[in-house]
Chains A and B, each alone.
Chain A
Amino acid sequence: MKKLLKVLLWVAIALAGAGALAAIAFERGEPLNATWFIVAAVCTYLVAYRFYSAFLAARILALDSSRATPAERLDDGRDFVPTNKWVVLGHHFAAIAGPGPLVGPTLAAQFGYLPGTLWIIVGAVLGGCVQDFVILFCSIRRDGRSLGQMARDEVSRRGGMIALLAVLAIMVILLASVGLVIVNALKASPWGTFTLAMTIPIALLMGFYMRYWRPGRVLEATAIGVALVLFAVVAGQWVNASPGWARVFTLSAPALALAIIVYGYAASALPVWLLLAPRDYLSAFIKVGAVWALAAGILLVRPTIQMPALTRFVDGTGPVFAGKIFPFCFIFIACGAVSGFHSLISSGTTPKMITREGHARLVGYGSMLMESFVAVMAVVAACALSPGVYFAINSPAAIVGQSAEAAAPTITSWGYPLQASTMHELARQVGEQTLLNRTGGAPSLAVGMAHIFSRTLGGDRLLGIWYHFAIMFEALFILTVLDAGTRVGRFMVQELLAHVWKPLGRTGWYPGILFNSAVIVAAWGYFLYQGVIDPLGGFNSLWPMFGIANQLLAAVALVVATTILLKMGRLRWLWVTLVPMVWLVTVTMTASFQKIFHPDPRIGFLAGARRLAAGLASGAIPAAKAAATHRLIFNQRLNAAVTAVLAGMVLVLVVEALYEWYRILSSRAAPVLHEAPYVVTRWAEGD
């Protein structure tokens, strides 16, 4: 009887999910409620978790809870710490979920709500979750080894080198892209700039508190920090209202970019306890809190989706970025569907905390489902805006102009009615001078979130505070990614440069620290600045490069996973990681090719450079702008070269892996696994 009830329950969940997905996919004409998105996503996740992840755990990986994990065998109370599985889930989720699942889906909403939503749900269930889970498992079986080490051990030496270079490349482009999100959100916005600037002294205060006054008291310090940050959000409106102070905090885009570059350098070179760690605590709390609040807000308000299922921009002429759904939807939405970066966390701190192998399913597969849900919420928040407003916020000035009066007729002519007064009123309500040309996802998401929150609490009166709360929340954890990433990048540069000149590899040597920090900051700073001055809005070039780099890392992870499964004798089930890998390689290759060679100058870097050069030669570009144009041409060519290198690395890796698989399958090489030997657990069954 109980079994029958269970079967009926799962049939009901599956039917509800399928029904909601069908409603999303086939509903035309009538406005759709956001509830359908939530039901479709949650039911799919439940079914996938209950059945697919159980299948992976039992049949493919054969998780063995009688086997002692590294956390048990190597327990040192510091890195290797056996931890409750729900706590590990929380840790892992806080580590993997950053700005990616919020930015990518918002940008890809220009195709309409459908492509992004389907890719986020399907990609996560069959791709992203599988990658995170399998890599976590592989790392647990190898004493918590990193992806690079596993690539070297299981695939080839070159595989390990490619993993290292891919990580460095992603780091540089990711940091530039997310830096650009902050610049576009905060340019000419005294309220937002003030709030974010205030988080620096607040973090310093928390740093001293946790280091000297009350060592290690994270919760006390964070409670103080969160209260101060919330006060800074409210206080921002007074700064905004005072002409003198507003002028101090009104920064242009290039000035903001420079400020971020200086900040990144300082945060990387200063001791971690002072700035980096306290900001990370602050952002982790606010991030998790805001995500829960957004979920609750969407469920309470149940907003209507205003964006159509598909827009006219599926033809590749989109204003936010140029290019067709295939491959660019799958490149722009990496985090939330499949993100290669996660494999670094799955083979980093997390495997050292897992108490039992069986927990890897909840932590690896489950937390990626949660991130996918965050991405679905981002789609909902962006698509709940009227399409006219969405395009006004996200289109660069070169396409729609700089004023609402110029933008409104253009956007209306695309078939998305917009009045200039709507944009003025919206900007006034949220306490900004303008919301136009703020590409990057943060402002449109913040407007969406502010509407959802203000309908739950406070009404229009609090719209400005909610908007700036949302901006602060995104900017805060973007800065965390920026400073943590710069520091890790610094260590990678140190490792690489040590081959060139030994002293640069010394850890505690201050001139070395300053120099290595400068190298990594200069690298991402250059791309950030290039994005800021790009007339097409930097996202058109930066975000696809980031997506390609990120999916390249996912391809590395899936190649490693497939090789290990092959060595484990799971030939019949190889498709589990092979299919997502083939898909990602196809997508990254197509996207790289188009970004380099496409004849449309907005898509192809080389065509873009050619058009600018032709403009100079024919005199269409005035001589006064010659120097700036030469720089733009150089940037386009540089981007083409970087993309080509990334694509080349994918190809080398795939060829290496194919050769290794051929040797194993034809018995030319013994399938040697580099697992730690089996040791039986000393702990009793159960948790």
Chain B
Amino acid sequence: MRALGTFFDRSIRAAWWALRQWSGDAAYENYLRSVARKAPAAGAPLLSQAEFYRQGLERKYSQVSRCC
């Protein structure tokens, strides 16, 4: 029974994680992690979440992002 509980718990966590990754909800966290990975002294100033979101949209919708 406990094994089943753990299984469900894991599945739901995995699904939630995948949903956040897919939808773009986790994009800012990924960005922070990426910046941290590459040593903080890399140059460009860190973007705020609002600015990161706005710039991301601008770039995404300047190229073909949706198909027929």
Contact = CB atoms under 8 A, between A and B. Distances in A.
B35 to A, nearest CB: 6
B23 A222 contact: yes
A470 B67 CA distance: 19
A86 B18 contact: yes
12 contacts: A77-B30, A77-B35, A81-B30, A84-B21, A215-B48, A218-B23, A276-B61, A285-B23, A341-B64, A349-B60, A481-B67, A487-B61
Given A211-B50, A277-B61, A342-B67, A91 B34 contact: no
B51 to A, nearest CB: 8
Interface of B: 18-25, 27-28, 30-35, 37-38, 48-50, 52-68
A280 B57 CA distance: 11
Given A77-B35, A78-B31, A211-B53, A281 B64 contact: no
Interface residues of A, number: 58
Nearest to A96: B67
**B interface, by DSSP: helix, strand, loop or mixed?**
helix
- CB-CB nearest 7 A-B residue pairs: A77-B34, A215-B50, A100-B68, A77-B31, A216-B53, A344-B64, A87-B21
Contacts of B19: 219
A99 B55 CA distance: 28
Contacts of B25: 216-219
A210 B38 contact: no
Contacts of A481: 66-68
B19 to A, nearest CB: 7
From B24, B28, B31, B68, residue with most partner A Cβ within 10 Å: B68
Contacts of B18: 84, 86-87, 90
A172 interface: no
B31 A95 contact: no
Contacts of B37: 75
A313 interface: no
Contacts of B57: 272-273, 277
A461 B65 CA distance: 39
A550 interface: yes
Contact of A95 (B24, B33, B35, B67): B67
A96 B65 CA distance: 8
A339 interface: yes
Interface of A: 75-79, 81, 83-84, 86-87, 90-91, 94-100, 146, 167, 174, 178, 210-212, 215-219, 222, 272-273, 276-277, 280-281, 284-285, 334-335, 339, 341-342, 344-345, 348-349, 480-481, 484-485, 487-488, 491, 546, 550
A485 B50 contact: no
B23 A550 contact: no
Contacts of B61: 272, 276-277, 280, 484, 487-488
Given A77-B35, A277-B57, A216 B67 contact: no
From A90, A95, A218, A480, residue with most partner B Cβ within 10 Å: A218
A488 B31 contact: no
B33 A78 contact: no
Contacts of B34: 75-77, 81
B54 A211 contact: yes
Given A84-B18, A95-B66, A334-B68, 12 more contacts: A76-B34, A78-B55, A97-B67, A216-B49, A216-B53, A217-B25, A222-B23, A280-B65, A284-B23, A341-B67, A348-B64, A480-B66
Given A211-B53, A348-B65, A87 B22 contact: yes
Contacts of A212: 50
A345 B21 contact: no
A219 B23 contact: yes
A289 B25 CA distance: 18
A173 to B, nearest CB: 10
From A83, A95, A277, A285, residue with most partner B Cβ within 10 Å: A277
Contacts of B32: 77
A58 to B, nearest CB: 28
A95 B24 CA distance: 13
B66 A484 contact: yes
